[in-house]
Amino acid sequence: MRLFLPLILLAACNTPTAPFRGIDPVRVTVDGSTFDVRIRDDLAEAIRVNAQYAPRLGPIEGRAARAMQQVSGCAVRRVTGDQALLLGQLDCPRPD
């Protein structure tokens, strides 16, 4: 049992939130930060998967936005979240 609990917690480190379940991630590294990025409609989720000192969102936010842009091909309007899990609002051109 002692081994089981840490394995469960470790497996949850890059588990997507409910709206992004079932979407395969695209792994992207930007300036030393590695993210699993998932896209659904006009939202993007970036989960930072590497061990990295990140006491605040500031430097990670821009890297996550660039990762989201690389995967989606769309501009990123806004990013919210924390140093490990970030949600981006995408600005994608609408087809006519």
Q: Which residues contact 73 (CB under 8 A, 6 or more apart)?
A: 92
Separation CA 69–CA 66 (nearest Å): 5
Is pLDDT above 60 for 10?
A: no
Average pLDDT over residues 37-54: 94
pLDDT band of 5, cuts 50, 70, 90: very low
Alpha helices in the chain (DSSP H): 4-11, 58-72
Its pTM surpasses 0.85: no
Alpha helices in 22-83 (DSSP H): 58-72
Separation CA 71–CA 9 (nearest Å): 27
